[in-house]
Structure formats: structure tokens, C-alpha cells
Structure 1
Amino acid sequence: MQKFRFGLFVTVILALVMALPAFAQDIVELPEVDPLDVTGDVVTAGSSTVYPLSERMVEVFRDAGYAGEISIDEIGSGAGFERFCVAGETDISNASRAIRDTEIESCNEIGREPIEFRIGTDAITVAVSSDNDFVTDVTTEELAQIFSTAETWADVRAEWPAEPIQRFIPGTDSGTFDYFVEEIFEEDEAPILAASNTQLSENDNVLVQGIQGSPYAIGFFGFAYYAENEDTLNAVSIDGVTPTAETAEDGSYPLARPLFIYSDATIMAEKPQVAQFINYYLTHVNEEISEVGYFPASDAALNGAREAWLEATGMSTGEDMEATEEAMEEVELVELPAVDPLDVTGDVVTAGSSTVYPLSERMVEVFRDAGYAGEISIDEIGSGAGFERFCVAGETDISNASRAIRDTEIESCNEIGREPIEFRIGTDAITVAVSSDNDFVTDVTTEELAQIFSTAETWADVRAEWPAEPIQRFIPGTDSGTFDYFVEEIFEEDEAPILGASNTQLSENDNVLVQGIQGSPYAIGFFGFAYYAENEDTLNAVSIDGVTPTAETAEDGSYPLARPLFIYSDATIMAEKPQVAQFINYYLTHVNEEISEVGYFPASDAALNGAREAWLAAVGE
């Protein structure tokens, strides 16, 4: 999963974001609730993962004046839905997984229509005792072994102790159990339940205590339980990624997952205290969630929850709901001053990423079609070479990049009097592709991907059932941001393995790579999604860990090689050459109208707003 790095001027941009009214309107406002005025009881039950967060919100609600009773039973997501949808005993169901169709049907049978409220993000944490000095990182494949067939640690890695693995896992009613099984065992719970020396419990504190008791124990639970016990536990990274707020948000940590509470409109009408508590929960959850040990949901997800509340309480329904959503869409994106391309004169010089090239080419075409009569040059030479021309030679006005600018490149820019400004313009999913004549490679693990692009000589070296034919590799050149990002994600920033692989052709021109792959059923390569989209009649996209590159998987972070796209400029350039500022303005204003046609995916509203605010700051508006 991807690491979206927005390193440049983050502090400045965040300060701008916090200071501007346009951003304050990003989050839907709910009617104010005074807990002093709320009476009546609320009954909740469900996920042990959500329990600490709901417990905290109850405490805050009480501290603010609520004098009633809110009960919370931590019995697991499945058992929580049983009590909510079958027994009809609870007002709110806490869940660390989405409700299932069968559970919705059970709710419907007792006259309930469950409403989902997204409240945060968790990273299921795999943990060992702090006395364990050998397990620090595992692959997803090793994780499956550890929690199923391996009897001793040495069965997983020969250098680990030949001691029995002691397993501590959530009970089968737990959403944590469900999510882990879905991600690691592709929804087949048989292997994990058949593993010897395994203790299950719906109480995560029992799991924590079990792991603390032995250097040969391992288990998993919500991040909050690790955070409470990190002096006695070590979090195990997965495929080199540790669970943190950043890796949960950007989707690079494999076991990040959403957290929910559920209720029903009829319950909220008959027991207004339930509606008022949920309102208070959604209004204040982001103020408290990090203290509990979880991570905030995105603004979009939280807005969805708040809109669900408004609809459930009849404050935004039908046409009113649509009007509210349209109004939100209008205010979410920062407005830039209108640019008439007919009035723009002068040249613009750009260079850089071959991935960004098709998008910038499209934006230049649209700018010209709207009346611009000047010259905009675009050289596709790779992100690194683009920064070289922008920050060292000082020859370009705009640098196209499929990775964030590096500190050393910023220093080079500074040495020639430039302060690079980052503008996020979209999202790409690096696509691993084979010829459509290849009938054996459809999905690979990240571990297999590393083998394919490094040590494996033939396809049979990766999987015995694949042909014993040499792997023909076609990869971007080392100046390419695509190359950099792939190496960072698959080889942990070490480019030696991929550059040491035999039978490898490098090119800064992605069309050369496409043609190479098209020419052989034993070829494989990678490039920006747009190049696959242009050639999908002759290429097959290879899914990674079961996830194919799509708009949805790029946006939600489940596709491992999704990454941001940027253009960079400088305030002085934009002042001395106003046509540069005007073109960037037009680019940021219209990019989302064009980006899907090129084959990439829009940046989030928040990211695009950040780019627009950076533009306003650069031109002094």
C-alpha cells in the first residue's frame, strides 16, 4: 500500500488550511448538543476495539453534563450485531468491520434499518513481548504461516528459535478476527482456527497479558491496546511498514481498517438521547481519538457520518439533502481567480516525470483550446532529471514529478534562489503489466514482486507451476519518479537488487516499456496507470496481494502502488512570468475535469485545496 508524502512546506500549508474559512466549512456542521439537557439511557454493545473510543466519548459526554446512563458491553462486533439486529436489545452497535448483508437482513426482520457512522481508523497491531528480540518484521506470507501451519518459530525462519509459537488471537465474534482473516487468509478462517497452541478471547486485555507473559508469544488486536502497553510489547512491522497514524492514513500499513458505530432512525426518534449522543460523538470524536490510540477518519468519511445523522433525524432529506450536498461541494474547493487563456501571453517551460507528462500535455491542450496562443514546452525526462533542470540548471518554470521533491533537491533549488512550491494534481497507481498473451501471471504478492524484479531468473523460480522461461524485465530509468517509488515500496529504498537483475531494459520513455512487454508473453514491467489504460487491449494488469489498480483502490489506499502526482514551481518565477502563475491556476482549476480521461485519478478535495492554497500564498492573494 502506498506512502503519500507531502513533505514540502507541510507546516505552512497546514497553517493556511487551519486559518482559512473555506477549510472550516469542509466538515458538515451538526446542531449543537448541550449534554446538560440530555436525559434518558443509551444501551450500546459490540466491538472490543471500538470499546475504548466509545468509553472515552461517554466519559467526555458525562464530563460535559450528561447525567444519564450509557452502558457499553465489549462482546465483539458479531455479537454486537446479534444483540442489535436479532435481539433488538441495544440502541447502538459498535463495530470494527462493516455490517454484513445477513446482519442487515436480520435487522430488517425486526423493523430496523441500520445506519452506519464512520468514527475513526484503526491499525490492527501484531505484537510480541518486549522480551522477544528476534521478531521485528514479517511478510504477509510469514504472518499467515505464524498464525496457521508453523509449529515453531524456526519453521518460519531458520534463524529464529525452535520454540513453539504461542498464539493469542481475538474470538470469532470479533471484527478484529474477521478483518485479519479477510486480509491474511482471504476470508478462510479454517487455517487460523486449526493452528495449535492458540488462545482466543473477546477481551483484548487477556490477549495483551498472554503476550506479555512469554518471549515466544504473538497476537493481534486494535492499536489502542498496543499503545496502552508499548512498554511491555513490541509492534511487529508487516512488509517493512509499522502501524502509525501516517501509515494507517495513507494505506501503506496492510492491516489498517475503519471503525464504526451503527444505529437506526426509529431508535433515534423514539429515544432522542441516542441521537444526541451520536451527534456529540461525531462532533467531538476527532478531539479525543488520538488520546485513545486510534486515528481520525478522513474528512470525507466523517462528513458521510454526519450527513447520515442529519438524514436519520429528518434534518436533511430528499431534495434538501441533495441541496446540502451540492452546497458542500461548492464550498469544499477553494476558488481561484478566473483566468482567461485569451489574455495570457508568454512562454512556459516544463520538464520532468514521464508519468505526469500525459496529464500536463492534456492540460496544455485544453489551455490552448481555450485561447492561449503562447508556447508551453514539456520534456518527459523523469522526475529526477526534471528537478535537476529546475533546481540546478534553473532552466524550467515548472517541474513535473511523480514523487515528492527531496531535501537535497530543495537545497539545490535554494542555492540558485528558488523556493520550490508543491502543487498536488492527482493520483496514479503504478501498474505492473504483462502481455495479454501471458496466461499465467494474474496476481502476485509483494514478496513475489520483489523476486520477479531482482533475483528470479525464470518464472518457475517464483512459482514452480509457472514456465521455466527467462523473465524479461522492462522498467523505468533511474531518473524516473516511477522507478524511485517502486524501489521505495518494494525494495525499501535499496535500488541494488532491481538494478542487479539480469535481462532488464530501462527507459525513461514509458511507451518503450509498453512495446517491450507487448512483444513477449514472458515479459513484465511497470509504469503509470495511464500507459496501461491506453494499451489495455494488448496488456494485462497484474493485481498485487489480490488488489487491482482502479480509481477506488487508489483512493482508499488498498492498492499497494498508488502514489501522488505533483507539479512544482516558485513564487519568484510566478511573479516574473505571470503566464506561469496563470497556467498553474488554470491547471488546478480544471484538472479534475480532465484527469480521468488521461487515465489517472483525482486528488482528494483536501489535497487539491492544499495546492490551491499554495497558489494563493505564492501570488500573495
Structure 2
Amino acid sequence: MQRKFFMLTVLLVIASVVLAACGATPTAAPTAAAAVEAASPTAAAEQPTTVPTEPAVMEPVDDMLPAVDPLTVTGDVVSAGSSTVYPLAERMAARFQDEGYAGTITIDSIGSGAGYERFCVTGESDVANASRAIKSSEVESCKAIGREPIEFRVGTDALAVVVSKENTFAKNATMEELAMLFSDQAEKWSDVNPEWPSEPIQRFIPGTDSGTFDYFVEEVFDKNKEPHLNAANTQLSEDDNVLVKGVEGSPYAIGYFGYAYYAENADKLNVLSIEGVAPTAETVDDNSYPLARPLFIYSDAKIMQDKPQVAAYINFFLTYVNEEISEVGYFPASEAALKAAKQAWLDAMAADLTATALKLPAVDPLTVTGDVVSAGSSTVYPLAERMAARFQDEGYAGTITIDSIGSGAGYERFCVTGESDVANASRAIKSSEVESCKAIGREPIEFRVGTDALAVVVSKENTFAKNATMEELAMLFSDQAEKWSDVNPEWPSEPIQRFIPGTDSGTFDYFVEEVFDKNKEPHLNAANTQLSEDDNVLVKGVEGSPYAIGYFGYAYYAENADKLNVLSIEGVAPTAETVDDNSYPLARPLFIYSDAKIMQDKPQVAAYINFFLTYVNEEISEVGYFPASEAALKAAKQAWLDASK
């Protein structure tokens, strides 16, 4: 069912992009894990082959992929392969998670060959990272386990040949000298160039399972790796950091690896020009540097369709890679290559796009009987209250109880005491809370209903605070600052009066995670701090003094905008546009949770959630919040359909 829904989502999103092209306006955690594992050597190098692609079934749409909202993506992604691609993949995974993805992206740096083996032989990974094109034998191995590898070009690496900073004699090498330097043809530096010292060459090279090794052998030794492997004083390692350490340790050492590892260690190493050409963005782009090579990630259409998180990760990777790649030390792929990768993504996702618009069964409130009990987030409360009022206005004669007690207390009432039918939450449920639910026979089902921008507010009388950086925010709400002037010398030398949500609030949890990296102690230890689960108490406190500051859900600011000012964060004010494009730093998802058995045993609960999901986007802006993405709302509707079977 997940696969069907994802296909539907992609179809609808792509349709919106097509409309955009025609002039319409479309609607808009743990860090990446890394593990180095031992890998078995691959067979002798073969001629790389280009993977044949299926005929395109979709036209490129302005070189645009469907928008991905990381906050809506669930499930884990497993990738493995090239140590060269590793730092780029790690950076893209980190950005994906920084923008809201709560799953885990495992990135194992084991070499391109071992990465292909894990993807094509054992089938243990979703994505293969590679610094060389896949070989025909590897394609056949993939086919043997039912996989058709799809190539996505993500960048270009200039292979760097490096020496120690203590090496004052080697500045440039020809391709012929390079072949001698790394082969059994030369024992001493002077054997290669009589002007160089009569000292043994100490060689540090990537392991044989590395795409870097394969590429070097192909370019320098015409695919014959024997002279390379037979060279004296040669240390091999799949870990490029080991190679860096080896080369920097001696003026007579030399090695090679991806340019990113040189860039990261440029204070310890010198990079050689090859044939008189240094590796730069210009020489890589115009192909004048002899050792430039493409970087890839590979996946499979069925994996991407069955695991929407994999498709979302690759989409995100291709969409933003050119904003990140130079920071890693690599160079962008050509525009044509990146377009081809995006087209490959569209082709892969088009294979099963046969679904039509997703709609929930119509609910007639006049026919619904029985009561509904909900409790939880004070942030979700005004939205739930509005949806319940509309449900009743349209004919529902029962009672919907909505208690505003904080997300944590709401989960306790739902998962521990089992007293509520619906939990309202401004944060995702924790694994410990899921276990508590299971202990009483409940399986919590998540329904994303909107997005809140957490508002940091001051009194209308406050004329000095207009914006705060994240660092200033941490000081304003912690024991690091007693007075406003402690945070910014241009602000008054007056005590900061703080009004914050109670510790059982999802708003409190979210703020602590985003601002204090999950350490709540500095926040709770701050002087002049009043906590309350009732946001109206916080509003009253802040409006009462020009030296007060607080935070809560945007809806409460919107309701009290005549009494309060909202701060910009990092220069970005909370608006529909900045929340939608993720530029406002304190935006977060809003949820309601229930359980399939509750929904089946109490039809009024299923009807209420159905009605909520069907009409929430007609009401949410009136409350002061922002709609969830189209994909997130459709996922919620699909979850309702699955629970109602």
C-alpha cells in the first residue's frame, strides 16, 4: 500500500510542477551514520559499461524534480560504497536530516567495488556510492537478484596526487613519471627524475576495492594493475585518512585519493600538478586536468517505489547537491549530466504511476453518533477545537472532548492509561511512548495535519529586539545571560523575564532540541523563568513587560498580534512562504494519533479523523498555522485508509 501511495504522490506532485511550467503557481536527528567495513577484493578490472536505461516515459519538467519535504519522510536508507563519494553523501544526508528527516541514513565507506557487491550480490543496500561506472559483470549480478541499477551522476572529482609539506622538490609530474612513481619501475625518487633525491619512494594508495584505485590503474597503467601492486614500500588502505596520515609523515612519501581529502588537509599536504595542470574548478570543468572523474550514486526503480524514503533521499540529493558539493571539495557535474540524472529519477518513478486522486470516503456528520476523547498538545489544541466545532456545526450531535495538557501528557493519556481516543501532538511520538502503547494493546498511527512556526515574542512595548540569531536565542532563554545586554550590548541592561511552555509540552521539547541540542538544563536553570502548559498565561506574561520574552505556537501570536511583536530568527520572519520553503528555522510538524482498533470499534473516532483530514486545509490558516505539504496530507489519508480495512 505504501508503494501505491507514493506512486500517487509523485504523479500529483509532478502534475503540479507541469502546471508551474505553464504559468500556474504550485503549492509548495541522529546524524548520518558511518561505518568502515572490510570488503573482499573484486575480480580483475573490466571495461566499465553504461547501464542501459528504459525509454523515457516522462518529459523533463523545467529540469525540476517534485519537491520533497524532509519532515514528511519516514523509514531508513542504507547506502555503501566509494570512500570518495562518502563525504559528499554524508553532507547530503546531514542536510536532509537537518531539514526534518527523522530516519537514519547509513553510509558505509567500503570502496566502490564492495559497494556494488553489497548492492548487486547480497542486496543489503538501497544505494551504491561509486567513483567509477558500474561494470557489466556487476550489472549482471544485480539482474540475478532482480535489480536493474540506475545511474545518477552527482558530481566530479579531481583525483589529487599529494606529497608532504616537507617535500620541496616535487611540484609537477607527467603521466609517464606518475606511472614510474607508483610502480615497480622505480625504487628511488631519483630513478624517476635525476633532480629529485636518491631516497626510497614511500607509496600510500587506496585499496584494490576502491573506485579510486580502479580509476588510477585505468588512466595511468592502461588497466594493468600488476606494476602498481608490485611496487616496493607500498601501503594500501580503504580509509583515505590513513593515506593522508602516511603521506604527511615523510618528505619522501607520495599518495593519491579524492580531491576532497586533499582540500581537508591542505595545511599538511601539497598537491602535484599533472602535465603542468593543477586541479581547479576551471581545469576540471574544461577537462584539461588529466585525472578528473565522475562520481555516482546508483539505485533501482523497485527499491525507490517500495521505499519512498529512498526515492525522496535521491531526489533531495540531486536537487541540492550543487549547493553543497564545493564545500566538500569536489566539483559539480555538468548541467547536462545532472539533468540526465534527474530524468533517470523521473523515469524510475514513472513505472507504476497509474493511480488517480486519493479521496477518503465521504462523512456525513448527521449520521455519526458517540463521543470522542482527545488530549495533548496546547499547540494543536486550537486547530483541533476548530475542526471539532465544524464537525458539530455540520450535524455531529456527540461530544468531542479536547484537553490541552501538552504533547507528553497527551501521549501518556493515550499510551499509558488508555483514556483517550486521539492524542494531539506537536512532536513525533517517541519509541518509549510507542512501547507504552503496545503494552496496553495499542499501535499508534500518525496523521500529519499541519505545520506550526514556533513564534518567539516580546511585548509591544519592546522597541529594541527585532531579530535574534540561534546563538542569541540560546542565551536569551538560558542561564548564560541574566540581562538583555549580556546577549547584545545594544540592548538594555535590564533583567530578562522569560515565559516558556511547561516541560510536558511538545513546544518545550522542540525548542530544547533545536536551540539547546536536547540539553534542557541551561533552559530550566535560567533566572526569572515562568513555565506554563497554558499558552494564554505565557501571552499575558510577555505582554506585561517590555523586558519579557517567550515562545509558543504561531497561532497564539496571531491571536494576540495586537499585544505582541514576533521576532525574526536569523533574519527570517515566520510567514507562510518561509515556513513552506524551510527558511524559517523554527517550523515543525503537527500531528494527531489514534489506533486502528479504536477507529474500528468506535466509528465516530474514524469519522472525526476522516473529517479532520478532509477539511483541515480549509481551516488551518484561520487558526494561524500552515498547511502540511500535499505529500504529508496524502500520507495521512492513506494511513486512515489502511487503518480502516
Letter matched to residue 433 of structure 2: E
Alignment-derived partner of residue 488 in structure 1: 513
Determine whether 1:475 maps to 2:500: yes
Question: 2:14·2:65 contact (CA, 8 Å) conserved in 1?
Answer: no
Deviation at 1:343, TM superposition (A): 0.3
Distance 2:315 2:564 in 1: 31
Q: CA deviation at 1:120?
A: 8.9
Q: Which position in structure 1 is the counterpart of 2:406?
A: 382
Aligned residue in 1 for 2:469: 445
Does residue 14 of structure 2 align to residue 28 of structure 1? yes
Displacement of 1:283: 3.1
Equivalent of residue 573 in structure 2, options 548, 552, 568:
548
Q: Give the letter for the 1:444 counterpart.
A: A
Query: Equivalents in 2 of 1:247, 1:513: separation in Å?
Result: 41
Mind listing any 5+ residue stretches in structure 1 that lack a counterpart? 1-14, 31-58, 67-91, 93-113, 131-136, 138-204, 230-243, 264-273, 289-298, 304-327
Q: Shift in Å at residue 118 of structure 1?
A: 5.6
Q: Where does 1:155-194 land on structure 2 (aligned, <5 Å)?
A: none
Percent of pairs with identical residues:
53
CA distance in 2, matches of 1:546, 1:486: 18
Question: Is residue 2:388 matched to residue 1:342?
Answer: no
RMSD between superposed Cα atoms in Å: 4.5
Residue aligned with 1:394, SS: coil
CA distance in 1, matches of 2:314, 2:580: 15
**Cα distance change, pair 483–575 in 1 and its aligned pair in 2 (3 A):** same
Q: State the shift of 1:282 in Å.
A: 4.3
Q: Is the 8 A contact 2:370 2:399 kept in 1?
A: yes
- SS of the residue aligned with 2:358? coil
Query: Kindly tell me: are residues 248 and 64 of structure 1, through their superposed partners in 2, closer, same or farther at Cα, counting changes over 3 Å?
Result: closer
Normalising by structure 1, report the TM-score: 0.55
| Alignment counterpart, residue 637 of structure 2, candidates 609, 612, 621 | 612
Structure 1 residue aligned with 2:484? 459
Which of 426, 437, 447 aligns to 1:423? It is: 447
Matches within 5 A, 1:308-457: 334-454=358-478, 455-457=480-482
Match of 2:619 in 1: 594
Mapped contact 1:23–1:332 kept (Cα < 8 A)? no
Q: What is the Cα deviation at residue 22 of structure 1?
A: 3.3
Aligned to 1:49: none
1:380 & 1:246 partners in 2: Cα distance?
39
Q: Residue in 2 aligned with 1:95?
A: none
Asked if the contact 2:13–2:66 (Cα under 8 Å) also holds between the matched residues in 1, the reply is no
CA contact (8 A) 2:5 2:635 kept: no
Instruction: Kindly provide the amino acid, as one letter, of the partner of residue 22 in structure 1.
Output: L
Work out the CA distance in 1 between the residues paired with 2:485 and 2:638.
52
Tell me the residue number matched to 1:39: none
Structure 1 residue 550: deviation in Å?
1.1
What is the one-letter code of the residue matched to 1:211?
E
Q: How far has the Cα of 1:119 moved from its partner?
A: 8.7
Q: Matched residues in 1 for 2:533 and 2:54: separation?
A: 63
Cα distance in 2 for partners of 1:246, 1:284 equals 11
- Answer whether contact 1:334 1:609 (CA < 8 A) is retained: yes
- Of the three residues 543, 553, 556, the one matched with 1:531 is 556
Specify whether residues 393 and 575 from structure 1 end up closer, same or farther in structure 2 by C-alpha distance, changes over 3 A only: same
Aligned to 1:211: 264
C-alpha distance 261-212 of structure 1, shift in aligned 2 (>3 A): closer
CA deviation string 1:405-438 (max 9, x = no partner): 1111111111111111100000001010111111
Aligned-partner residue type, residue 535 of structure 1: N
- Paired amino acid for 1:284: A
For the residues of structure 1 that align with 2:54 and 2:314, how far apart are their CA atoms?
34
Q: Please say if residues 458 and 546 of structure 2, whose CA atoms lie closer than 8 Å, have aligned partners that are also in contact.
A: yes
Query: Offset of 1:27 from its aligned partner?
Result: 4.9
Letter in 2 for 1:548: A
> Secondary structure in 1 aligned to 2:556?
helix
TM-score (norm 2): 0.53
> 2:509 is aligned with what amino acid?
D
> Using a 3 Å threshold, how does the CA distance of structure 1 residues 616 and 451 change in structure 2: closer, same or farther?
same
Q: 1:582 aligned to 2:607?
A: yes
- Conservation of the 8 A alpha-carbon contact between 1:398 and 1:568: yes
Please say if residues 14 and 66 of structure 2, whose CA atoms lie closer than 8 Å, have aligned partners that are also in contact. no
Query: Residues 458 and 469 of structure 1 are in contact (CA less than 8 Å); yes or no, is this contact kept in structure 2?
Result: yes
Partner AA of 2:406 in structure 1: G
Q: Which has the larger radius of gyration?
A: 2
CA distance in 2, matches of 1:406, 1:420: 11
Counterpart residue type for residue 439 of structure 2: E
SS at match of 1:475: strand
Partners of 1:247 and 1:479 in 2: CA distance:
36
TM-superposed CA distance for 1:393, in Å, is 0.7
Q: Structure 2 residue aligned with 1:284, among 344, 366, 369?
A: 344
Note the alpha carbon deviations across 1:329-386, whole angstroms, 9 max, x for none.
xx87520000000000000000000000000000001101111111001000000000
